[in-house]
Structure 1
Amino acid sequence: MLKQQNELIQLIGRHTSKNGTIPTLIPSLYFSRYSGVTEPRYGIQNPSLCIVVQGDKQVLLAQERFFYGPANYFVASVDLPITGQVTTATSQNPYLSLKLEFTPSQILEILQESDLDFKAKKNLNRGMFVSSLSLPLLDSVTRLVRLVESPNDIPVLAPLMTKEILYRVLLEPHGEVLKQIAIRGSNTSRINDAIEYIMNNFDRRLLMEELAKLANMSVSSLHRNFKEVTAMSPIQFQKQLRLQEARRLLLTETTDATDVAFQVGYESPSQFSREYSRIFGLPPIQDIKQLKENYDDTKNA
């Protein structure tokens, strides 16, 4: 395993000349590099497999913390609002990682073609987990990453290798999490329908009765199952989406906090400011000012 991890360090290092996350020639594969410990970064973790080959990272989902490094791999099976932070990295030994995105249809295709149990268990699982990295999984990931340096092979081999990687994860102890999201009609799949609705309508008033009808559940079952998968209620999930989008708008557009509050669905600017401060630690204007100053300092370093 050490030999393959060292190979991944070399491969990813050659294709990441600066800090940040970059796409590769394989559409679903991304590399990340950071030369130092980062501030907490807020964003949406889409369905994906993540492997750190050098350094360490922590991810916060609601009040739960997930730590992972080169001995582990990390999977999100649904879209989740998270806070991520690189916790171990230096300029000499930068944080290096990869992310492979996937869809429920890819998981379903593997289940249909394999001898794996096609029935999802009744009990739901959290839509995010960290597990120990096995040699078969690491081997399949290494072969996929090698393709970045063989562009002509990517169209034919990348889909096959991606399928092998997902198959390996399905065989692992937490494979049930991926199986649940792929099987239509399972509770996890129905919760994913509710997640997608909130993602697409986060700026609108959330009516629990309509959301429960969409998920084909009672309101009480929706709340219970939604929290089991996402670690938060539908309202808390929507709030995270609203505040992350508000922060993005404040950083990238010339607009004031009141306008942004209304854009993301708040009816009260004062409530927006209170909830923004609770999540990000500072009122909107002060937070954005500090973020821009930190960015300028990093850029000029």
Structure 2
Amino acid sequence: MENIIQNLYSSVKRFPISEGQNQTSIPYLEIHCYSQKDIIIPDTQNPFIYLVVNGTMRLHFSTGVFDYAPGQYLISAIDSPISGQALSVSPTSPFLALYIEFSIDDIVSVMLDMEANFMEMIFEKEISTKIQPHDDYKLLDVILRLLNINEKQDEMAFMIKHLKREIIFNLITGPYGTPFAQSIVKIQQAGDIYYINSWIKQNYKDTFSVEELAEQNNMSVSSFHQKFKIAVGMGPLQCQKKLRLMEARRLMLDKALNVTDAAIEVGYESLSHFNRDYRRLFGLSPQKDIQEIRTCLYTKAQSD
């Protein structure tokens, strides 16, 4: 695995790269480069993978705080609000990642070409709710071949399409194929719900009601709430609350804010209400939760 990661890094370094998001000649591939701590994770309706090539990426989920090392990748999902930081970055050794985006049609096309029995088995499995870093040698090998394409223009166009399908195939047949395939169905069914979910991500500190959201989207309250819950897995106000609590957790962990300041920063007016909601989502009081995370991260860093 170490050799292929080094080869990925060498291949990426051959591209002209500047700070931020760099589009390549491959339409669905970008190289992201950050010498500062904050990482801009794409917010798009289309599914994507985000593969770390150099440095370490820390992402915050309701299920925990996870560090992604080179060769590990994030698979996007409609119900995964995230914030990210790059650890130990500098102008001489920036954080590097590959952003590979797919359309729903791309993925459905591959699914339709696969054996019906296999896809039936995929959809019968229970979807995993635990989000963790992934690595997969077969997938990394395909991405390496994509980076090293050096064909004539007409041949290159064919290979780009072929390798995209191969990447999708490896995602579906890989260890996290079930949640990936099932998330595609969710996005297909979501329609305009994605845009509402994205709006909530940007405005979660503000006060709004389900009635206002339903009216903005010309839907009845009951129909809107049901459609949102099917697509995202929770109601819109639950989604807002989760976003507030996750951001408060990040502020306490990364910015060393105290409990009161973090609660106010994310829009809470009552500290007791914040503490109650926090314990309900994370299972511990804010102080104990942050202390446990710091201990776990320190122990992991010492063992690496």
Interval containing the TM-score (normalised by the shorter chain): 0.5 to 0.7
Q: How many Å apart are 1:117 and its aligned residue?
A: 1.6
Partner residue of 2:266 out of 274, 278, 288: 278
Partners of 2:172 and 2:237 lie apart in 1 by: 25
Instruction: Give yes or no for contact 1:25–1:151 (8 Å, CA) kept in 2.
Output: no
Structure 2: 5+ residue stretches without partners: 246-261, 268-304
Cα displacement (A) at 1:190: 3.1
1:213, distance to aligned residue in structure 2 (A): 2.3
Alpha-carbon deviation of 1:231? 11
Q: Percent identity?
A: 18
In structure 1, what is the Cα distance between the partners aligned to 2:64 and 2:222? 25
The question of whether the paired residues in 2 share the 8 Å contact of 1:55 and 1:96 is answered with yes
Q: After the TM superposition, which residues 1-301 of structure 1 pair with which residues of structure 2 at under 5 Å, given as runs?
A: 1-35=1-35, 37-39=36-38, 41=40, 44=43, 47-61=47-61, 64-78=64-78, 81-115=81-115, 116-118=118-120, 120-121=123-124, 123-126=126-129, 129-147=131-149, 150=151, 152=153, 153-183=155-185, 189-191=188-190, 194-199=193-198, 205-207=212-214, 210=220, 213=223, 219=225, 222-223=228-229, 226-227=232-233, 233-235=238-240, 277-278=265-266
Q: Hey, what's the Cα distance between the residues in 1 that align with 2:109 and 2:41? A: 32
Relative distance call for 1:93 and 1:151 in structure 2 (3 A) is farther
Cα distance in 1 between the residues matched to 2:21 and 2:152: 20
CA distance in 1, matches of 2:156, 2:57: 29
Check the 8 A contact 2:61/2:82 in 1, yes or no: yes
Quote how far apart the aligned CAs of 1:85 are: 1.1
Q: CA deviation at 1:135?
A: 1.6
Q: Is the 8 A contact 1:59 1:66 kept in 2?
A: yes
TM score, norm. by length of structure 1 = 0.63
The count of aligned residue pairs is 235
Root-mean-square deviation over aligned CA pairs:
3.9
For residues 43 and 237 of structure 1, what CA distance do their matches in structure 2 show?
19
Higher strand share: 1
What are the superposed Cα offsets for residues 161-220 of structure 1, whole Å, 9 maximum, x if unpaired? 01101100111121112211334xxx5643465224544798992129736525xxxx47
C-alpha distance 43-2 of structure 1, shift in aligned 2 (>3 A): closer
- Which residues of structure 1 form unaligned runs of 5+? 241-273, 280-301
Per-residue CA deviations over 1:118-141 (Å, capped at 9, x if unaligned) read 462475555x94443222111111
Q: Is the 8 A contact 2:193 2:231 kept in 1?
A: no
TM-score of the aligned structures, taking structure 2 as reference length: 0.62
What CA deviation, in whole Å up to 9, does each residue of 1:37-61 have, x standing for no partner? 5136576255211111111101224
Residues of 1 paired with 2:244 and 2:220: CA distance?
Answer: 18
